[in-house]
Amino acid sequence: MHPAPSVIVFTTFSGLGFGLLFWLGLGWPGVTGLSAFAFFTIAYLLAVGGLLASTFHLGHPERAWRAFSQWRTSWLSREGCAAVAALLVMAAYGAGLVFAGQRILWLGWLGAALSIATVFTTAMIYSQLRTVPRWRHWSTPALFLTLSLGGGALLAGQTRFALPLLVLAGLLQAWAWHDGDSRLRRSGTTLATATGLGQIGAVRSFAPPHTGTNYLLREMVHVVGRRHARRLRVIALVLGFALPVVLLLLPFAHWLAALAVLSHLAGVLALRWLFFAEAEHVVGLYYGAHQGQA
């Protein structure tokens, strides 16, 4: 799939923002007044900034309000509804903390549940697609959730949660790459089933429909060099997980914590780029792509 910057920025930043809101909702850290204001500002900048970035991906952003209507069937619609609900509930909860110094327990828990539900719905947008076998797997929501919770705990300064979650997310990511590489092959969709001509013999793309490119090729048939991808995977694992974990284990200092956050952010941006760039859409088979794997 085409790794569009707007979608990479959206999933990375809103994932972190809602992860932070989750921990704030649970009362870890139990902040009030100005420090609560600072935490909530960071969380809202990340979550809302990410959501705004996602609208740059739309052909008609002025009609985005319509996306709240189809929550019965559409994960994208559910995500929009969950995001707005989480932001509204957490705003009320945050206002209580900042202006009244009051922690409304149930409101925080509700906000935390809605925040993490938002991340789950984001993951399901991708995980629901049978057309992208690499995404259609339980590890997709599992990764989005552990990354969001781990990154959120890192931002919230909750080292005791951030450490195990980041280690878990790193291991899960490494395994998801390894397992994901063969999911297209294991899905059973090949050029033979795509054309139905497999019953006659071996099928090969002889000529594409047009000499030029098209929307399908630009959007869904993105091929990354294998060596390139392998290097980026190592960079993502080091920056996203290994370095932040080491920094968290060192004696606490604010600049070390900030460095851990920045390193984690860079790592997640890299792995999100790979998440899209490496995802093989079955429509590529019609154009002769992915033949090495199928």
Residues that bind another protein (CB under 8 A): 1, 57-61, 63-64, 66-67, 69-70, 72-77, 80, 125, 128-132, 187-189, 191, 193-197, 199-210, 212-216, 219-220, 281-283, 286-287
- Whole-angstrom Cα distance, residue 145 to residue 88? 21
How many angstroms separate the most distant Cα atoms in the chain? Answer: 74
Question: For residues 22 and 126, which CB has a smaller minimum distance to another protein in the complex?
Answer: 126
Positive or negative, the CA dihedral 121, 79, 45, 21 is negative
For the CB of residue 268, give the shortest distance to another protein in the complex, in Å.
Answer: 22
Query: What does DSSP assign to residue 158?
Result: -
Query: What does DSSP assign to residue 222?
Result: -
For the CB of residue 228, give the shortest distance to another protein in the complex, in Å.
Answer: 23
Pick left, alpha or beta for residue 156 (phi over 0 → left; psi -120 to 50 → alpha; otherwise beta): alpha
Question: For residues 191 and 236, which CB has a smaller minimum distance to another protein in the complex?
Answer: 191
- Whole-angstrom Cα distance, residue 120 to residue 282? 24
For the CB of residue 89, give the shortest distance to another protein in the complex, in Å.
Answer: 21
Question: For residues 59 and 251, which CB has a smaller minimum distance to another protein in the complex?
Answer: 59
For the CB of residue 225, give the shortest distance to another protein in the complex, in Å.
Answer: 23
Judge contact between 19 and 279, C-beta under 8 A: no
Measure CA 63 to chain center: 24
Question: For residues 210 and 254, which CB has a smaller minimum distance to another protein in the complex?
Answer: 210
Question: For residues 264 and 281, which CB has a smaller minimum distance to another protein in the complex?
Answer: 281
For the CB of residue 125, give the shortest distance to another protein in the complex, in Å.
Answer: 7
